[in-house]
A and B are shown apart, each in its own frame.
Chain A
Amino acid sequence: MLNKGGAMSLSSGLTRSLRERGTELQPWLFVFTAAALIYLVAPPVLFILSTSFVSEIGPDAGAFTLRHYRNIFGSLSDLTRLLWNSLVFSGGSAGAALLLGTTVAWLAERTNAPFRSLAYAFAFISFGVPGIVKVIGWILLFGPRAGLINVAVRDMTGIFPIFNLFSMAGMILVEAVVWSPVVFLLMAPPFRSMDPALEEAGMVAGSSNWQVFMRVTVPLAAPSVLAVLLLTVVRAIESFETPALVGLPAGIEVLTTKIYRQIKSGFFPRYGEASAYSIILIGLVALGLIFYHRRTGHGHKFTTVTGKGYRPRRIDLGRWRWPAGFLLLTLPALQVAPLIALVWASLLPYMQHPSRKAFELVSLKNYFATFNDPTIVLAVTNSLTISLTAASATVLITFVAAWLIVRTNIPGRWALDQLAMFPLVLPGLVLGVAILKLYAALPLPIYGTIWIMFFAFVVSFLPYGMRFSYTGLLSIHRELEESSATCGGSWRQTVTKILVPLMLPALFAGWIYIFLITIRHLSLPLLLYGPGSQVISVTIWELWDNGRIGEVAAFSLLTTTGTVLLAILFRRLSERFSVAV
């Protein structure tokens, strides 16, 4: 019979054994992961770096130049204005998205507020609708001259417009609404897997629900909140649709609208200044990442899932249950609002305000018209193939990278995070051109096939996969893996039976996000698709470019429904193999 000391000695011996076995593999995993990330990320970054220093047109084309940087810094007053607008817009929208998304995630995961599944359903639905279509939906509702709601309020009260969408406030709100489902899905897993013991200790010590929330729950969620804040701020800086559609009519220009104009200016695309802007953005994001790692460097302080029989406690909100439920409904409602405008548009030959004449014109013609396209089947098959494989590959590689960062002591492991985060600041257009040039030059059978889009998506969505994996892993204590070894589990068993099932909710959230967003992603496929590799988003764009907004709406709604149903199916499957938390 073993005494306590003997048991501990055996346990530590087994743990050591697990560590040793894991340690043997670590360098190989690190080398393989780093090589894969370098292969994916380095070429576009090098392309942008070199392009920012090379003259593109004129007699000195191809020569080294600092002209692009000089042009940017030469117009400092313009740059200051652009930076200020970008910061207000990104900070404001990220803050608002974080507030709404985190609140809803906490209500859905840690309280007994109703309508939880509605929040999930609409978060997924929102990903299926192209960004441009959503923003147009908001313009149809709150356009200062003809917005459906503005006109309705005018007819009832005489106040006009009740809200002018074409303003900085409008830009911030639209972007926040677009991003709040992402924040919600990123924040839900950490809340879901939070160790109740810490909160219960707070309650036992006599703290109120509010005090426990502020002093225990919020600090525990801090690394996830920081990670998500970083992601949303950077993403908002890079956002294009909202600034172009909502900001420009208000006379508000931001960095991305400027970059876009640089690229699109003239018939010969100019990537020089756009690349120089990207390099500046990369610098800013690198600073942000250093700050982030300093804040979350002591990851163990923030672990929320430990081996101590965690079972998250749902807080009973009592009489606040229903008000909280209505607050939770804000997220679905804000996702539904532009969809209503979209459904209305899909039933009409052309967009117009509700009236007797308009109702007489309502039909399903736009829905039937979408089935009239013989290339639809090919586009759907291509899109599904690309999105399924790209989402899986991205999640796999970022999961391994995150595990190496969080669980090992390999020097330089943080470089993996830096590498994976780079693509966040590469403007889609520049990234697309870099990928196009790379695979046109490489003697691989990828150019001209759907697989060029696969590689582009994997590169583009590495940062998202990384944040989903990283925040998920950060919240799981290593003692759970160590317990597996104590019980005699092999390293492989520990990974497949403990780590992956515990991580599945976070991994699945990342996977489904990438899957849904790549299905409707436009800027990359538009550059990279070729004859025979048509995808759904390009079909939507063509309908839009052809002025068929009714068919755009119908096709978007149909594809959204299809992909969301598919997502639900995958979610069910993932639940079968994950640990219910």
Chain B
Amino acid sequence: MKALLTAVIFAVSILGSAWGQTAKPTTLADLAKYTGPDRERILYDGARREGKVVWYTSLVPYKEIGKFFESKYPGVTVETYRANAVEIAGRVLTETRSKRYVVDAIETTPGALMIFRDNQLLMPYTSRHLAEYPDGSKEGVSGGLVLWTTDRESYIGVGYNKNGVSTADVPKNFDDLLKPALKGKMGVGDAETEARIVGAMLKAKGESFVRRLKEQDVRLYGVTGPGLNELIVTGEVPLSFAAFSTNIGHSVAKGAPVAWVAMDLAVANAGGAAISARAQRPHAALLLTDFLLSPEGQKMLTEKFRYGSPVKDYGFVRWYPEKGLTTSEYTERQDRWLKLLLEITRR
């Protein structure tokens, strides 16, 4: 009797599992967790019927990515709103409160994604590429489903102009930033994004170290990462400890005399791919997200657009400042880091 019961349970579980993988999904939730071998075909057929996908992203090369996706999946158009995480957060919250469900797929940094998570605005999903990603790069819920997956990273470290800083003076770690030769040569942007390097310094060296940087006459510039990068390229700012690896990488590719080095900890500015819980075009949203996470999408992001990948090892220690924090804890820390950055740059 016991053996019979075991056999029945086994058969039911096998059948259930098979149904979970092969029964045709009908709702967004079913589609999001569907893992059958025909997932791509089902998504593409549905996406063609839907005609387009509305994508809110912070990715700078979104046009090229959209074009690539459209050529791979003819009949599906990508309509994009590109902005930073704060603006995307503000827009999605406003639209949701007004019951305007415009966005299908989202790709932005964790600050905004955490707000969406807290407000239940994201659809848990799976993808056949998820197994290739380390656990740390997935915001998991349960049953193998995730709310977002890190599809690209850039890192904050020291960017410098080779004509403005001699090789001997190039810092190799945070302590080297206190070298007398660097006094008056350093500049930073004034945004939270850059202020996260203060968080890394606090973690690695403590607050007294950060406060000693004030002696170095660090200048504050009211510019975002790319603006600061231009000032490094022209030599107006010989060195910054809050430079993005991607920005410097693009300038290096053009032949500019600049370079980037990681310090004790390199702050990872990670972007995650997510699906809106109220996506009006679910097939297309999932198809686009699958594409970003696929080896083909990753190759494009890392090789063509010089982003870092959570899958690769670059030989330096990465630090994800938002990991393990609630939204309010992360916001409080960011405020503290920015305040400290403003204090050490006050003249």
Within 8 A of A (CB), among B200-234: 219-224, 226-227, 229-231, 233-234
Contact A261 B190 (CB under 8 A): yes
Complex interface: stretch among A213-221, A249-257, A507-515:
A249-257
Query: Smallest distance from the beta carbon of B198 to chain A beta carbons, Å?
Result: 14
Residue in chain A with minimal CB distance to B79 = A531
Query: Smallest distance from the beta carbon of B166 to chain A beta carbons, Å?
Result: 16
Query: Smallest distance from the beta carbon of B280 to chain A beta carbons, Å?
Result: 12
* Chain A residues, CB < 8 A from B235: 145-146
Q: Let me know if B95 is at the binding interface, CB within 8 A.
A: yes
Contact A527 B234 (CB under 8 A): no
Known: A146-B234, A440-B98, A532-B79. A527 touches B87 (CB 8 A): yes
* Chain A residues, CB < 8 A from B90: 269, 433, 436, 527
Contact B256 A145 (CB under 8 A): no
Contact B255 A375 (CB under 8 A): no
Q: How far is the CA of A355 from the CA of B160 in the complex (A)?
A: 21
Contact B222 A545 (CB under 8 A): no
Query: Smallest distance from the beta carbon of A166 to chain B beta carbons, Å?
Result: 8
Q: Let me know if A320 is at the binding interface, CB within 8 A.
A: no
Q: Let me know if A307 is at the binding interface, CB within 8 A.
A: no
* Chain B residues, CB < 8 A from A267: 85-86, 89, 111-112, 114-115, 192, 327, 330-331, 334
Residue of A264, A544, A545 touching B191 (CB-CB under 8 A): A264
Residue in chain B with minimal CB distance to A373 = B63
Within 8 A of A (CB), among B238-271: 238, 247, 250-251, 254-256
Known: A251-B347, A547-B251. A245 touches B63 (CB 8 A): no
Residue of A268, A361, A526 touching B115 (CB-CB under 8 A): A268
Q: Let me know if A546 is at the binding interface, CB within 8 A.
A: yes
Residue in chain A with minimal CB distance to B222 = A244
Q: Let me know if B38 is at the binding interface, CB within 8 A.
A: no
Query: Smallest distance from the beta carbon of A353 to chain B beta carbons, Å?
Result: 8
Q: How far is the CA of A146 from the CA of B163 in the complex (A)?
A: 11
Residue in chain A with minimal CB distance to B187 = A249
Contact with A along B35-60 (1 / 0, CB 8 A): 00000000000000000001100001
Contact A249 B219 (CB under 8 A): yes
* Chain B residues, CB < 8 A from A247: 222
Q: Let me know if A9 is at the binding interface, CB within 8 A.
A: no
* Chain B residues, CB < 8 A from A248: 190, 220-222
Q: Let me know if B91 is at the binding interface, CB within 8 A.
A: yes
Contact A250 B347 (CB under 8 A): yes
Within 8 A of B (CB), among A501-555: 526-527, 529-532, 542, 544-547, 549
* Chain A residues, CB < 8 A from B255: 349-350, 361
* Chain A residues, CB < 8 A from B328: 57
Contact with B along A132-143 (1 / 0, CB 8 A): 000010011001
* Chain B residues, CB < 8 A from A531: 54-55, 79-81, 102
* Chain B residues, CB < 8 A from A375: 63
Residue of B54, B85, B89, B226 touching A547 (CB-CB under 8 A): B226
* Chain A residues, CB < 8 A from B229: 547
Residue in chain B with minimal CB distance to A261 = B190
Contact B60 A546 (CB under 8 A): yes
Q: How far is the CA of A244 from the CA of B191 in the complex (A)?
A: 12
Contact with A along B92-136 (1 / 0, CB 8 A): 001101101010000000011011000000000000000000000
Contact A268 B230 (CB under 8 A): no
Among B94, B222, B254, the one with the most A-chain Cβ atoms within 10 Å of its Cβ is B222
Q: How far is the CA of A2 from the CA of B187 in the complex (A)?
A: 84
* Chain B residues, CB < 8 A from A268: 86, 89, 115, 327, 331
Chain A: how many interface residues by the 8 Å CB criterion? Answer: 52
* Chain A residues, CB < 8 A from B236: 139, 143, 145-147
Q: How far is the CA of A183 from the CA of B57 in the complex (A)?
A: 40
Residue of A441, A527, A545, A549 touching B60 (CB-CB under 8 A): A545
* Chain A residues, CB < 8 A from B80: 531
Q: Let me know if A101 is at the binding interface, CB within 8 A.
A: no
Q: How far is the CA of A546 from the CA of B247 in the complex (A)?
A: 8
* Chain A residues, CB < 8 A from B346: 251
Among B67, B94, B247, B345, the one with the most A-chain Cβ atoms within 10 Å of its Cβ is B94
Q: How far is the CA of A441 from the CA of B96 in the complex (A)?
A: 10
Q: How far is the CA of A547 from the CA of B246 in the complex (A)?
A: 10
* Chain B residues, CB < 8 A from A301: none
Contact B115 A249 (CB under 8 A): no
Query: Smallest distance from the beta carbon of B81 to chain A beta carbons, Å?
Result: 5
Residue of B111, B223, B251 touching A245 (CB-CB under 8 A): B223
Contact B227 A544 (CB under 8 A): yes
Query: Smallest distance from the beta carbon of A116 to chain B beta carbons, Å?
Result: 36
Contact A266 B334 (CB under 8 A): yes
Among A57, A264, A373, the one with the most B-chain Cβ atoms within 10 Å of its Cβ is A264
Query: Smallest distance from the beta carbon of A347 to chain B beta carbons, Å?
Result: 13
Contact B220 A249 (CB under 8 A): yes
Contact A265 B192 (CB under 8 A): yes
Q: How far is the CA of A350 from the CA of B230 in the complex (A)?
A: 8
* Chain A residues, CB < 8 A from B226: 544-547
Contact B222 A251 (CB under 8 A): no
Query: Smallest distance from the beta carbon of A451 to chain B beta carbons, Å?
Result: 15
Contact B234 A351 (CB under 8 A): yes
Q: Let me know if A243 is at the binding interface, CB within 8 A.
A: yes
Q: How far is the CA of A251 from the CA of B328 in the complex (A)?
A: 30
Q: Let me know if A374 is at the binding interface, CB within 8 A.
A: yes
Known: A247-B222, A267-B111, A374-B67. A547 touches B250 (CB 8 A): yes
Q: Which 7 A-B pairs rank lowest in CB-CB distance, beginning with the nearest?
A: A244-B222, A251-B347, A267-B111, A531-B79, A146-B235, A440-B98, A350-B256
Name 17 A/B residue pairs within 8 A (Cβ), A-sorted. Answer: A145-B235, A248-B190, A251-B346, A265-B334, A268-B331, A349-B254, A352-B256, A374-B63, A433-B90, A440-B95, A447-B100, A448-B102, A526-B87, A527-B87, A530-B81, A545-B224, A547-B251
Binding site for B on A (CB under 8 A): 57, 136, 139-140, 143, 145-147, 166, 243-245, 247-251, 257, 261, 264-269, 349-352, 361, 373-375, 433, 436-437, 440-441, 447-448, 526-527, 529-532, 542, 544-547, 549
Binding site for A on B (CB under 8 A): 54-55, 60-61, 63, 67, 79-83, 85-87, 89-91, 94-95, 97-98, 100, 102, 111-112, 114-115, 164, 187, 190-192, 219-224, 226-227, 229-231, 233-238, 247, 250-251, 254-256, 327-328, 330-331, 334-335, 338, 345-347
